[in-house]
Structures are given as structure tokens and as C-alpha cells.
Structure 1
């Protein structure tokens, strides 16, 4: 459901009693927690009891499971997820009563109204970079508020209210939400075609990032990762327009560079140079070049805000991950024969390539990388299905599920088979298994001692990872 953004977005304290439709999602749950912590009366409903609801129960937010008109009660404002159906009874009731309706973007803008907003944008890496930036600024003593699209492992929450002036926000481009925010400074990690079901063309998608950058406070600045061609073009245009731009890179020339990357023990260490002068080293506890790119962008933002390199680096070094971003789920067995299971949200070809590269660095000697991938959205699979399959070729064994349809109608011509057929491995190494429960059986029968199993996708494939651990444990029997 598309709720229009109002011409004037009131601060959270002026919204009255606020009811969230879809409060269990990553975006709305964070906004609701921050509003509740600021003293705004908050309630919410959702179809499912998701992991994002626990931090809301910590602050005594009443939550209904299921949707019903009476849940609206005495609310003055509804904040509505884009996933809500047109016939949602709570939205229909609010419309009948003439209540204020806000989309997620306006709800977030309402809680950021009196803060200095630091927005993290890009096709990939937003959640991890927002999390890294929040942790780094906390370590530097800034005590920011933050709203992230995943659970921050360090706090167990996806959002919180800080005492400082800064607000670190993941800026989502998928529905144009990032165009609503009053942004002081921003990171743009990369710009690759995605969400074409909303934007229509690659050109329109890229133009949205231009509009986002144009809207940054003239006194603020922009951080761009110029290893990515789309972000490099944005940086060049914004500099020509007079914007203060800080560029970051691993492979090309930039204001801030990561050099001498070393991966060992499940982490990555790199040195940082600013204008050719070495500032020191950062030791990440997460593997993979793409996480170095993310950490470098967060570091650039912190340095540009005037924080100390050592404090920021210490914060980055303390980061242990975000839920569903190369998240370790469990280990079955011991030593070299142990099977390790990870889960990740990657659903775009570039994200798949990055996570498989990181996972490969974790595979034990003699072990294999076994990947279970669920394509997300019919439109995305239609456009990128072949590229997804090609990216999965970096694994040793691949299980592909059917498409997670989400907000679109199914298409008999667009299934997971489109992805599986494009995987450049031998036929016996690729399994298209449409049914999720059958996929679990396939994984259990496929895995060998020493393998690393990675579940990938933005849909319900995430449920397979803990099920895989439980099944392998049961297979081993009593210790």
C-alpha cells in the first residue's frame, strides 16, 4: 500500500497517539521504539511475532498480532508499512475516521525532526554501514540515535534514542523514502540498478540518488565510495555543483583509502590513508572486502564530523555484525569436521558475489561452500535472475528455492529455475527445490564434514539456517 507523504511532516511529539500498521518490520519497529522512548504513546499490529518486536516490549509498547479495526482505538496518527494490503481493516478504519496516515518515510522524518541527520544510502551495504557508523560514533562519545534495517548485534536492537544531537539513519531508496529526509550529511556507497518495479528504468533509479544528494544541507557534506562507477559519477557531479564531497576507495584514488588488506581468522585488517598520509589501522571482526568498503565510508563520515581516528577505529573494530548480514547461526561438530551455518540478506547479484567471497575466506581446508539461495521478487528475478545464477557459481554446491513473491503477483515464467539454470556448475552440483521443507532435506543430505552452509535471500529462507543446525544436531545424536 502506498501512503502519500504529507506536505508538512510534524515532529513526533505533535502526532498524538500513534498506531503502527506492520510494527514488526525492520523499519517501523525502529521508529516505534524511538517514539516510545521519547514519550509518544505508541501501539502497533502485525501479522507475525518477529524478532524486531522484543525491543518494543522492553519499552512496554502494546502490540496486537493480527489486524482489526478496533486496534486503531483512540489513535490520532497511523504509520503504515508499504506491505499493508489495500483492504487492511486498520487503514480502512483510520480513513473512515479521517485520521492522519503516514508512510514509513514520514514516520522516520518525524522522529528525526530535531536532530542532525546522517543518512546512509546505496544499492548495497546500507544496513552494515549504518550499523558501523552508529557503533563508531558511540565509541567516539557522540551517543547518537540510530535506526537500522537489521538488528545491531552489539545492542540487540535495530534502533535506539541517544542523548546526542546526531541521528544515524539507513536511507532506503526502494520506495523513494530517502528523498523525504532533512539530511545534513550522507554516505552513498554505490548505485546499481535495482527496485525497477518502482523506478521503471536504471536511469530513473540513478536520478533518484541525484535528487537525494541535491537535498543535502548546503552546510553538510557527501561521502561517496568511488570504486563504484555510479557513486563516482555522483561524486563528480556534486563536486562540480559546489558540494563538499569526501571520496573513499580500496582500488582507486580517493581522499580516504584502505590499503594493505589482510584477511585472517574470520576478520579483515587494513591501513587507512588520507591524502596519502597513513592515519593508522582498522581491524574488523568480519571478513570480506565489501565490509572494508562499508567501514571506510563510516570512518570517513566520523572523521569529517571531527572525531578522533583511534576512537572511531576502536568502534569499528568492536563491531560483530548485524542480523542477517553474514550472521553466524550455529556450528555442528568440532574441529576441522565442524559444519558452520551462516545466514545473509543478499538478494542482488553484487551482494551475492560479495557474500560468497567473504564466505569463501571462512571455509575450512578441505571443506566446501554450500549455498541455499531464495530469489526475492518476481520483477527482480526477471531482470537479474541469470546474473544471480552466475554469481552463485562461486559456491561448490547450490540449492535454489522458488521466488519469494512478496508484494507482486506470481509469474509462471519467472521461477527459481531461471536462477538455477544459470549457475555455472555441473548439473549434479545445482539443485532447484521449490519447496522450502524439501530444500532442508536436500541441504542435510548434501552437506559434508567441514562444509560451510550459507542461506541467502531477503525472504523466508532465513528460517532454514536454524532448522539446518537443528537437523544436523539431531543427525549426530547424543554427544
Structure 2
């Protein structure tokens, strides 16, 4: 492969080694680097479905992390890219520092790839992956061929990232570790602000404050797009306007010049439609994924697309064609009269919003949820709120906590959530391998079952379908 000399690839990234290359963010960066002609190597603790595509594009990938993985590229890497999840004791990171190889955070690498593009960054506690994905698909429908980096795979293409030729870069901006402060967008969207990731930010006030810093990163002449119905986001918008930033709002309370006022939302059998007032004209925005919150995300994407110069008719057609994101109410299959879905919701507000949409999709059937809490710190902080949200279902199976990057905390288990749930039949099952049989026992013909959480609960949907098929033979 010929090494890229174009300014499309920053010099430091022309030979890049990515630790944790199988992750959603890291694999996306690798895809774009490879498409632009860079040499890429990487490693991860276990195999990933992303490796097949990356290897086909020319990446050198090792399963297992060892110092000698840094020698996969001729001449060694010009930079090593890491995410916050990579610990300082990682042998490849230790070796990189010992050898004096520059170490870049994932967000720094992505910011380098954004150079020379008009950048749209979508941030917010909830909905940023879906909104980023909707905007990307809508721009593609308008034939603008954006580059994009998203925290999930588009159902249309199966990809989480792409190098486009349209001069626009669309990116999901992750606030969890504050790394989105690396970006300087010309179009910034904040869907909502609700305290989360307190393991990093420490306090709710600090979490809210980082969004104010993000708004100050907007390029001169750029725009901030916010949901006016969300009080913290509305307050952010007011402060940004006082600082001279142009602001556009969407939501039921929006109504100023350039805003998109949501007049009504009508759910349908497959998705829903938002009727909005935009520039004195009433238009309909249809989304093929269920839930009012998804329709609001689509309106945010519409405003962002208009700011990027796309035509309104093309954007509306693109939003109607949006088929969803993997793990965002993703249909896994049907066994008899039981439908099984999988969803990434891992914050109480997300769980509640998705279960309201699930209730409509279930029709006359019951809603059965297999929920896996994510992070000990989040479970401890929001156990009561999780319980209230899960009470919207009919049957709830609560698994134990998926710790991810955190060490276990004494007394913090899924039972913290399960014992506070009211309004639903509750089953606490700490043994992951017994959850499949329990879920199969609970469902009845006509039910809708959804596995929910940000951890490995996603593995259970296909297994539940297999077990239901076996029992139905």
C-alpha cells in the first residue's frame, strides 16, 4: 500500500497503531485512516466482527495485547491512539511511552481527520448516536457524501464510519470523558443535558459545565442547535446567545426565527410522524423508527442538515429512509408470535423513553424486558430512577451489573434496581447463563421482548429466539 501524503491524513497518523481497535470509536477511526491511505495496525483483547472489514482494507490486527504488536508496521507507528478505556498499565501503551512514540487520545485523532472539512458534531446525554446517524443518512440522500464517525453501525450500510468526498464531516461527540472539547464544529447539536458519567465528571454541576465549554468551541459564525424543551439545554442556548453564538431551537417550545416548532407527533404502526412549523411553513417529518424521542432527533438532524446547505426536501426524504442503528431498538427476530428486539438504553431517561415506544409497538401484547445495569457507579447513583423506568414494562428480568471499565463495588448489584421496581413482575437473575431460560419461561404468544443495556446483554436475544424455537418444535 502506498503511504498517503495528502493533507487528508495528519503526518502523525500516517502510520497509526490503535489500541482497542475493535471498539466502536476506534474501529471508525481505523476505517477512515485506511480509506485515506494511511498504514494502520491495532490490537484488542478479543476478536471482533469489525476485524474482517479492517483486515480486508489492509490493517494489521493482533488479538491479545503485547508490546511487540507495535512492530507490525514497517518503521513502527508514527503515533499510538488510545481511548479513555485503555489503562496506563496496558503493555502496548507502556512500550509506546518507553520508546517515545507520540500517544494520542481517540478524540485527538478524530479531530485531526476533521481538518479541512465543515464539521457537524452531535452531543447530548441521550440520542446523539441516533441523531448523528439520521443526519448522515439524510445527507447521503442529498448526495453530499459526508465523512462520518458514529458510535453505532448504520443499518443501511453496516458501517460506523466512512471517508466521504463531500467536504462535510459528521461526528458523534462524546461527553463521557470530556474529550469532545477537542473538536471545533461549525454546527453543534445538543439534544439534552442530564447528569451522567459522574465517575469521570464527579458532580452534576461539572457535567453540565462541560457542555458550556463545548458550546464555546463552536467556530466563529457557527451555530448551536438545541432542544428548547430540555431546560438545561435551553439554559445552555441562552448563555451561548449572550456570548454571540447563533442558536436554533427545536421542540414544542421552539418558535423563534429559524426554529423548528413541533406541533404534533403521531405514532404509526412502523415509526411515527412529527408535524413541524419551519420558516412559517408546516411540514411533516416521518421516521421509520418508533418513539417520539426519535422524531425529535430527526428534527434536530433536519436543522443541522439545513445549516450544512442540504435542501429541505432531500433531507425529509432521507430521514424517512433512515432504517435505524444497530442496537437501537434493533429487531432480532420472531419465534412464533413473540418478537425480540435489542436496545442500547443504559440511562433511566433512555430506558423510560424506549419503553414508552416499545409499549406502542407491542400493541395488545405484553412488554418483557431483560435489563442489564451498566457501570457500578451509574447503578448506585440511579437505582431508583432505573426502577421507576423499568416499571413501565409488564415483566422485568434484571441481570447483574456489567462493570465495563469499573471495579466491583460492595453491595452494588442488579438487586439494587430489582427490589425497587413496582408496577411490573420482577425477577432478579444474577447468573447470566440462566437468563435465557428464564426469559423463555416468561414470554407468551403476542409478547414483545427487548434485551436492554450497554453491555453483553446484546448476546441474549438470538439465544432466546433459539430457545423459543426449540420449545416450539
1:331 matched to which residue of 2? 334
Unaligned stretches of 5+ residues in structure 2: 1-7
Contact 2:285/2:295 (<8 A) preserved: no
In 1, are the aligned partners of 2:16 and 2:80 still within 8 Å (CA)?
A: yes
Q: Note if 1:263 corresponds to 2:259.
A: no
1:457 aligned to 2:446?
A: no
Give CA-to-partner distance per residue, 1:390-447, whole Å, 9 cap, x none: 1000000000011111111111211111111111135xx1001011111111101111
CA 54–313 in structure 1, closer or farther in 2 if over 3 Å, else same: farther
RMSD (Å), alpha carbons: 1.4
**Structure 1 partner of 2:55:** 57
Summarize the Cα distance change of 1:54–1:232 in structure 2 as closer, same or farther, 3 Å threshold: farther
Instruction: Give structure 1 regions of 4+ aligned residues with deviation exceeding 6 angstroms.
Output: none
The one of 408, 424, 429 aligned to 1:433: 429
Instruction: Summarize deviations over 1:444-470 as a string: whole Å, max 9, x none.
Output: 111111110011111111111111111
Cα contact 1:250–1:293 (8 A) shared by 2: no
Partner of 1:444 in structure 2?
Answer: 440
The CA deviation string for residues 371-390 of structure 1, in whole angstroms up to 9 with x for no partner, is 01111111111111110011
Equivalent runs, 1:299-448 vs 2, <5 Å: 299-333=302-336, 338-365=337-364, 367-425=365-423, 429-448=425-444
Q: Does the CA-based 8 Å contact 1:363-1:369 persist in structure 2? A: yes
Q: Which of 440, 465, 475 is the equivalent residue of 2:471?
A: 475
Matched, 1:223 2:221: no
| Contact 1:266/1:361 (8 A) holds in 2 | no
Report the number of matched residues: 460
Task: State how far apart, in whole Å, the 1-side matches of 2:461 and 2:58 are.
Answer: 30
Tell me the TM-score normalized by structure 2: 0.95
What is the CA distance between 1:138 and its match in structure 2?
A: 1.0
Equivalent runs, 1:15-164 vs 2, <5 Å: 15-73=13-71, 74-164=76-166
Q: Is the 8 A contact 1:343 1:455 kept in 2?
A: yes
For residues 250 and 13 of structure 1, the distance between their equivalents in structure 2, rounded to whole angstroms, comes to 47
1:276, distance to aligned residue in structure 2 (A) = 4.1
After TM superposition, give the deviation of residue 267 of structure 1 in Å: 1.0
Retained in 2: the 8 A contact 1:381–1:414?
yes
For 1:18 and 1:343, locate their aligned partners in 2 and report how far apart those are by CA, in whole Å: 34
State the TM-score, normalized to the length of structure 1: 0.93
Structure 1, 263-272 or 168-177: larger mean CA deviation: 263-272
Deviations 1:242-293 (A, max 9, x none): 1110000035545102233211122101222114421x22221101001011
| Secondary structure of the structure 2 residue equivalent to 1:152 | coil
Q: Is the CA contact 1:13–1:40 (under 8 Å) kept in the aligned structure 2?
A: no
Residues in 2 aligned to 1:252 and 1:361: alpha-carbon distance in whole angstroms? 26
Contact 1:12–1:35 (Cα < 8 Å) also in 2: no
Q: 3-state SS of the aligned residue for 1:361?
A: helix
Question: What CA deviation, in whole Å up to 9, does each residue of 1:53-72 have, x standing for no partner?
Answer: 34323412221111111110
Structure 1: distance between partners of 2:376 and 2:209:
24
Q: Residue deviations 1:303-352, cap 9 Å, x none?
A: 2233211100000011110011111111111xxxx111111110111000
* Per-residue deviation, 1:11: 5.2
Residue ranges of structure 1 left out of the alignment (5+ in a row): 1-9
User: How far off is 1:36 after superposition?
Assistant: 0.7
Contact 1:147 1:169 in 2 (8 A): yes
Encode CA deviations 1:60-103: one digit per residue, 9 max, x unaligned.
22211111111100222110132223321111111111101111
* Secondary structure of the corresponding residue to residue 43 of structure 1: strand
- Using the alignment, how far apart are the partners of 1:149 and 1:391 within structure 2? 24
Q: 1:290 aligns with which of 276, 293, 299?
A: 293
